[in-house]
Structure 1
Amino acid sequence: MTTTKENLANPGPVGLCGFALTTWLLSLINGGFFTAQEGVGLVLGMALAFGGIAQVIAGMFEFKKGNTFGFTAFISYGAFWWTWALFTIFFKGETAPAFIGWYLCVWGMFSLMMFVATLTKPKVLSGIFFCLTLTFFALGIGDGMENHSIVHIGGCLGLVTALGAFYLAAAEVINESFGRTVLPIGERK
């Protein structure tokens, strides 16, 4: 009996784009560039569709490829976007700011774990998870203490995180298309 190897496309870029674009939009609000009233509706749509569903689908394909890191990251952060959207739609006014702070700090701890796992992976990926860890902790502390200045710092860190994720997605697509490194990602030796 012969077996054929299934040739799967790289699911990483679509997961990274779902993460990057949704993070960018929410970070514009957290950073104080727009009010929640001006943009939260669109962020909710992105969180449910692109940030949530696209990342979960990417995670399932990473599972099929045997990539534990990609599977864990995309499924988890896809679920984050769903929990954030459902919370924002149904429960925001009913939750104590300190508890929201803990929710975000728990994601900061998860992101720290994922950052440590990136230390053998490309440097751009490590930078993304380092910034994401700082983002969650800043937002958690800011929301928990109801300190808008710290939330704004978290929003700005989120913008940096989103740019890094978008760069990595672009690098993966462009480098594969050209068959060579056009956009370097800091491969570790």
Structure 2
Amino acid sequence: MSNGENPKGNPGVVGLAGFGMTTMILQFHNVGWCGVGPIVALAFIFGGLAQMIAGFQEYQSGNNFGYSAFVAYGSFWIALGVIFILNHFNIYHSNTRDTGWFLIGWTLYTFIMWIPAMKIHSAMAVTFTLLLIGFILLDLAHFGYPEMVKIAGYELMFCALSAWYMMAHVIFAQVFGRDVLPVGRPWIR
């Protein structure tokens, strides 16, 4: 930049990319298109580690929403990866109900984050609304309605795409110097 500023990257682009990619591939599994191998790898590295690093960078910038969301959902992915591995090796098996209670905890956290998401902008509100609906569908799937897994899978693909849209918004705005992909007004003023 000619004015001597030293621009810094926005950690949100990595956090949103990791969340979107790992969410998308898990949904490919949930609808029956792939196994769990790619999910475990992504859960530890991109959805987990990279998203947590982005969260810690959000902390440095003073963004508590990004800090909480990226560190928490990064932890979610690592924990889910651990559940898959423990189940695979039958070290400590989490049955459907156990996993359901795990998901209910994340549903409650997502509900809390959904409220401030509506104050940020429409794209964030849409992403968290879709995530909350997806968790509710998965909760139902784990407590007696297994057909909801596939429905959640398709619904959460839109959540992943919404996260990628926000990532692209930030990257395109910097590269093109203008708002190429608008994110819309907040739902709560």
Q: Give the TM-score normalised by the residue count of structure 1.
A: 0.90
Question: 1:104–1:72: structure 2 CA closer, same or farther, 3 Å change rule?
Answer: same
Aligned position for 1:184: 182
**Hey, what's the Cα distance between the residues in 1 that align with 2:149 and 2:162?**
20
Q: Secondary structure at the match of 1:183?
A: coil
Q: Which ranges of structure 2 fall in alignment gaps of 5 or more residues?
A: none
Aligned position for 2:107: 108
| Residues 75-102 of structure 1, C-alpha deviations (whole Å, 9 max, x = no match) | 0000000000001101366223222111
CA contact (8 A) 1:24 1:158 kept: yes
Name the one with the larger helix percent. Answer: 1
Aligned position for 1:172: 170
Runs of 4 or more, structure 1, over 2 Å off, are 5-8
CA contact (8 A) 1:122 1:187 kept: yes
**Hey, what's the Cα distance between the residues in 1 that align with 2:165 and 2:7?**
25
**Pairing 1:77-88 to 2, within 5 Å after superposition:** 77-88=73-84
Q: Give the TM-score normalised by the residue count of structure 2.
A: 0.90
For residue 6 of structure 1, report the CA deviation from its aligned partner: 7.4
| Residues 99-151 of structure 1, C-alpha deviations (whole Å, 9 max, x = no match) | 21111121111111101011210110010001001111111210232x33111
For residue 187 of structure 1, report the CA deviation from its aligned partner: 3.6
Alignment length (residue pairs): 180
Aligned position for 1:9: 9
Q: Which ranges of structure 1 fall in alignment gaps of 5 or more residues?
A: none
Aligned position for 2:140: 141
Aligned residues: CA RMSD? 1.6
CA contact (8 A) 1:47 1:82 kept: yes
| Residues 4-52 of structure 1, C-alpha deviations (whole Å, 9 max, x = no match) | x97531000110000000100001111x242xxx421011101110000
- Asked if 1:67 is matched to 2:66, the reply is no
CA contact (8 A) 1:60 1:75 kept: yes
Amino acid at match of 2:153: G
Aligned position for 1:91: 87
CA contact (8 A) 2:140 2:146 kept: no
